[in-house]
Amino acid sequence: PPRRALVTGASSGIGAATVRRLRADGWDVVAAARRAERLEALAAETGCAPYALDVTDDGAVAALAEHLAATGGLDALVNNAGGALGLDRVEDADVDGWRQMYETNVLGTLRVTKALLPLLRAAGTATGVADVVTVTSTAAQGAYEGGAGYTGAKHAEHMLSQTLRWEIAGEPVRVIEVAPGAVATEEFSLVRFGGDARKSAAVYEGYTPLAAEDIADTIAWTLSRPDHVNIDLVTVRPRAQAHNS
């Protein structure tokens, strides 16, 4: 039977591209995010299963775990929901923006990973391997002006991923981290640059950002390694991006 993956933050950007790629690779895919109408369109296009989910909602995440348990379990989790808010200098920081960013990126990834690990462990035991992939950022690799909230959140996700790997080493669940540089998505275009992603990024930074498909390719590659291989951390950045913002 096809293996089954859950992608969070599947309604746009890297998540939607990952759903398309995994479907093309023959996976059953549950596509989760808050914007249900976008998921319906993605389902019509790709045959994925749409699932309305807010990763900041404990009850909703528990219900997701029950749903997956009752409908065939889970072989791979892609923790992708997240984004950058409050890209301000520390002295101008918006505390509520930071709270929301940590709730989504850090605690969202923790909540979903905790809730689904038993299912992944069961699938890995039955089939040989299961996977947790977390999308962090080059922002987890250094400081930049205005980035304290986002770099902190992505550092926390990085440490969650690295720590979990040690804690469950020896079990049939791989723990993988994919760290993108600048990717042309809604986050990149709307939140950071307020316009067309590729154009504004090129003007702003002087280079062409990655496409969401570049990261989807990387995620699919990590999942397709032989069972005994764990890709711990892959950084993918635009060729000319020389810093971590």
What is the binding site for ligand NJP (CB under 6 A)?
8-15, 33-35, 53-56, 80-83, 104-105, 108, 135, 137-139, 180-183, 185-188, 212
- Give Rg (Cα) of the chain: 17
For residue 194, the minimal CB distance to ligand NJP (Å) is: 14
How many angstroms separate the CA atoms of 31 and 35, rounded?
11
Q: Between residues 111 and 174, which has the closer beta carbon with respect to ligand NJP? A: 111
Listed in sequence order, the residues at least 6 apart from 166 whose beta carbon sits closer than 8 Å to its beta carbon are: none
- CA 192 – CA 180 distance, rounded (Å): 15
- Count of Cβ atoms closer than 10 Å to residue 192 Cβ: 19
Provide the Cα torsion 106, 86, 97, 215; round to 10°.
-30
Taking the complex as a whole, the smallest distance from the CB of residue 232 to ligand NJP amounts, in Å, to 17
Q: Is 54 exposed, middle or buried (0-12, 13-18, 19+ CB in 10 A)?
A: middle
> Residue 230 Cβ, how far from ligand NJP at the closest point, in Å?
21
Q: Nearer to ligand NJP by C-beta: 17 or 129? A: 17
We find the least distance from the C-beta atom of residue 127 to ligand NJP, in angstroms, to be 27
Say if residues 240 and 207 touch (Cβ distance below 8 Å): yes
Given the residues 144, 150, 204, 207, select the one marked as catalytic. 150
CB nearer ligand NJP, residue 172 or residue 180: 180
Q: What residue number has its CB nearest to ligand NJP? A: 13
Length of the chain counted residue by residue? 245
CB 10 within 8 A of CB 33: yes
- Min dist. Cβ of residue 46 to ligand NJP (A): 15
Amino acid identity, residue 126? A
> Which of 4, 154 has the CB closer to ligand NJP?
154
160 vs 183, which CB is nearer to ligand NJP? 183
Task: Look up 204 and say whether it is catalytic.
Answer: no
Contacts of residue 207, defined as CB under 8 A and 6 or more positions apart, other chains included, come to 182, 201, 238, 239, 240, 241
> Residues with catalytic annotation?
150
